[in-house]
Every structure is written in C-alpha cells, then in structure tokens.
C-alpha cells in the first residue's frame, strides 16, 4: 500500500497497521478519546516507548501524572522508559547532559519552573500576565523547550520529526495551533 503519504510508526503494530494503514500520516494529529479507565494512558505510554523512539524523538506531556509515576506505570506493562528525562529536572539543573530521545513534561513537576519558561517568553514579547501551569501557553512553551533539549529545533523551527504525545486534555482546554 503506497499512497505517497509518509507515515510515522507509533511502534504498536496492531495500531500502526490494522487501524492506521502504516502509522500516523506525517504532520497530522491523532486524537484518542474514551471513558476513564479504558487504557488511553497505557496506549500513549506504549507509543512513547515504541520501537521508533530510537529513530524519532518523543515529547510526552503528562497533565495528570508525575514523571516517576509515568515511568513506573510503563514498567508495570513491560515498557522501558528508563532512558526518559524529566523536563523539570533539566530546567532545575538536575540533569546536565541529556542523552535520550524521550523527554517527559510533567506539568505538575513544572509548577516551579513554568514561571521561568513564561518569563523568557514575556521578555521577548514585552508582556506579563499570570497563567496556570496547565494553560496552553505553558504547555506550548514546555514543548518548545523540550525541542531544544532534544536538539531538534533551530531558531524556533523544528528541524526533525518529533512525536508529541499529550496525555490528556481536559474538556475546558481550548484549541491550540502549531505544526510539528
């Protein structure tokens, strides 16, 4: 099956081939929805730890679970995220030399560091207003910082395919625009 569309494997064969025709089409969004407890988080953790992680950088945004709990939960399902690094740890200076293709953004862990992310953006734009660590501005600033940590952005532009996983979006979170 060759449609000319470049597809990105999630490293989950049944999902990539049986459901998505070879993976997610490059540049597209895949939204996984369902009731609590049906396995959405496990599916996203499985994709984060999929076989393609060696070839493609992954940014995993957790809005509900702390970094160490994401890694622990993955281990319970025989998914190895031991090479993952926490963006909060990088920003706090706890991790200096990042040698991974998987950055986990634990928004609760960023509670202290998020102000610094926003401050840098506000200095550039000349504006200042208080925001929640769970706001889309913070999520987007965190993802952009993760791109820098992974070495996949240059002058604000993403230079390589990156799998971005957000687990999960609250119903009151507004839409965001972006490519990458």
Beta pairing partners, 86: 104
pLDDT bracket for residue 52 (50, 70, 90): low
Integer Cα distance of 94 and 129 in angstroms: 28
- Domain coordinates of the chain in residue numbers? 54-167
Contacts (Cβ under 8 Å, ≥6 apart) of 51: 9, 11
Strand 102-106 and strand 153-154: pairing?
Answer: unpaired
pLDDT tens for 18-34 read 988 888 888 888 888 88
pLDDT tens for 114-138 read 666 666 656 555 555 545 666 777 7
Using CB atoms within 10 Å of the CB of residue 66, give its burial: 0 to 12 exposed, 13 to 18 middle, 19+ buried: middle
């Amino acid at each position: 099956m060759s449609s000319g569309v470049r597809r990105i494997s999630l490293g989950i064969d049944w999902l990539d081939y049986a459901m998505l025709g070879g993976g997610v089409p490059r540049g597209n969004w895949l939204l996984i929805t369902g009731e609590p407890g049906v396995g959405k988080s496990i599916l996203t953790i499985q994709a984060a730890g999929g076989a393609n992680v060696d070839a493609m950088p992954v940014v995993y945004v957790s809005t509900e679970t702390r970094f160490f709990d994401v890694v622990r939960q993955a281990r319970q399902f025989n998914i190895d995220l031991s090479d993952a690094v926490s963006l909060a740890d990088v920003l706090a200076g706890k991790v200096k030399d990042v040698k991974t293709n998987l950055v986990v953004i634990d928004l609760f862990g960023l509670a202290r560091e998020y102000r610094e992310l926003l401050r840098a953006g506000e200095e550039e734009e000349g504006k200042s207003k208080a925001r929640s660590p769970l706001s889309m501005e913070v999520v987007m600033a965190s993802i952009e910082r993760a791109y820098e940590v992974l070495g996949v952005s240059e002058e604000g532009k993403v230079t390589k395919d990156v799998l971005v996983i957000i687990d999960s979006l609250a119903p009151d979170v507004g839409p965001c625009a972006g490519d990458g």
